[in-house]
Chain A
């Protein structure tokens, strides 16, 4: 029974988070003086000359409908929630008019999800294993060196790591292409090989920062756990060091790391956006970058709505898994 109460509460927070986030991004553009419709008309006029006033008025009306700017604020708001949140319909994209923004996002999203998910899972696993070993034998020299490396990498912003890797491996050594280029229309084999070539450097940059953090946090967690009385007792019972590390220190420290994983997803997404932009990797980050350059507001709003949905849902899933792993938690 308690589980259902926990689930209900957690689902409510999930819905509230999304609602607050989406409401926030609905009102931000409306608080700024810049008007996307006037911008677009301005752009059209600079491209193809002046229009006559009647034509301009008709176009303005047409565009205001497509940008969801017609009607009272409340009507705009409800239709934004209804269309955007429930139907992923964000109106037409301005960059590739009249293709719907939602359709383009759906094309780019799998790349971002694939990149960040793979690197997060790898970083979490590798980082926690190294961190556990380093924390368990914290006076060994190798532990100190590993932690030192982690400390020198983790605090550096994602895009700096990405830039450094790009300079070294793409510009100087020329092992990888400077701009990611995925052969979408080629046959399966070529597609996969181009995908791997394009994803390697972005994935490594995300992996380096992520692993650094999990090493640091797991090391400090496991070195405190290793000093607990129950570990000492296990040692007196004559259990092997490996058994102690696995069943006593690891199982107790990993719990905190699962919550930490849920909390870190937003940051990983931010990092993924920056990394994609540096490498020109065809994900949501690259899409946002182009949308900014061409003032494509439907696209920007679409990307942000989707990312809020994705991050909150991923956090929800990680939170729901937690009680199944920790037997002490009874959904309180």
Chain B
């Protein structure tokens, strides 16, 4: 651990610290007992920041800080669920397609390429518009996951294609290992280090898609997410009324979260290529 920290580059370190901060807020501080921040008129309306309300209150009497903490928790959760589903399916499809070759490979690749090229947002808009009102967090995550598997599967496939021809795979095959065994013991370890960076990337883009849909009013209406928080503040004229803590805090939190995750991803990729001696 100490050695890792010494070898890590500046970007990776900054990324880890920023991301860890958000995870701490979203998954530790979140569990401190508190009043449900969604309830209207819990406190006085439009309070400026004070000791009781660090970021003030909203026009409908909600505490901005707790709203933000809950939003970070929910946004991160959606991101992680989507990234998990997308990565698992993507790695599976990519490996199957890369190792089977032939007609199976071609068929899978056409479908994958379609999902890479098709603009995802309009289709997400269509689906969530049809679910309007009845959509839940789980449903939302499933819909977002539909567009999260294609890119990893494409990448894993090309990785599998080059790995297939490496000496150690031939050695494994000649010493009698079956395809499944080779995939599990020889290929997966390779794919995993790459999958980790893809996993973080998928988390980032899932959070971005959810908040984009929220701005369109298509995220579940009772879900406190970063996007919905921005949307609510916009809908209640927080900008016109110049209530910067209310509209500003979810915007700033989203920016910092994304920069942190991105630094983590690029820093991690640099670190891995350094480790491989490039």
The interface of chain A, by Cβ under 8 A from chain B, is: 13, 16-17, 20-21, 24-25, 28-29, 32, 34, 151-152, 154-160, 163-164, 167, 171, 216, 263, 266, 269-270, 273-274, 277-278, 288-289, 292-293, 295, 300-301, 303-304, 307-308, 311-312, 315
A-B contact count (CB 8 A): 120
Contact of A159 among B119, B130, B211 (CB under 8 A): B211
B118 and A21 within 8 A (CB):
yes
A20 and B126 within 8 A (CB):
no
A300 and B254 within 8 A (CB):
no
Q: What's the minimum C-beta distance from A53 to chain B, rounded to whole angstroms? A: 28
Residue of B nearest to A154 (CB): B262
Q: Kindly state the separation between the CA atoms of A228 and B247 in the bound complex, as whole angstroms.
A: 49
Q: Kindly state the separation between the CA atoms of A167 and B111 in the bound complex, as whole angstroms.
A: 41
> Which residues of B lie under 8 Å from residue A312 when comparing CB positions?
117-118
Given contacts A16-B110, A273-B122, A315-B117, whether A159 and B263 have CB atoms under 8 Å apart is no
> Which residues of B lie under 8 Å from residue A308 when comparing CB positions?
118-119, 122
Q: Kindly state the separation between the CA atoms of A154 and B205 in the bound complex, as whole angstroms.
A: 12
Task: Give 9 A-B pairs besides A151-B266, A269-B119 with Cβ atoms closer than 8 angstroms.
Answer: A25-B123, A28-B130, A29-B126, A29-B130, A155-B261, A160-B230, A163-B230, A270-B120, A304-B126
B131 close to A (CB within 8 Å)? yes
Contact of B122 among A16, A32, A158, A307 (CB under 8 A): A307
B117 and A17 within 8 A (CB):
yes
A307 and B119 within 8 A (CB):
yes
B180 close to A (CB within 8 Å)? no
> Which residues of A lie under 8 Å from residue B216 when comparing CB positions?
277, 289, 292
A171 and B239 within 8 A (CB):
yes
> Which residues of B lie under 8 Å from residue A273 when comparing CB positions?
121-122
B262 and A151 within 8 A (CB):
yes
Contact of A300 among B113, B129, B204, B208 (CB under 8 A): B129
> Which residues of A lie under 8 Å from residue B230 when comparing CB positions?
160, 163
B114 and A304 within 8 A (CB):
no
Given contacts A16-B110, A156-B258, A277-B215, whether A28 and B119 have CB atoms under 8 Å apart is no
B208 and A311 within 8 A (CB):
no
Q: Kindly state the separation between the CA atoms of A156 and B251 in the bound complex, as whole angstroms.
A: 10
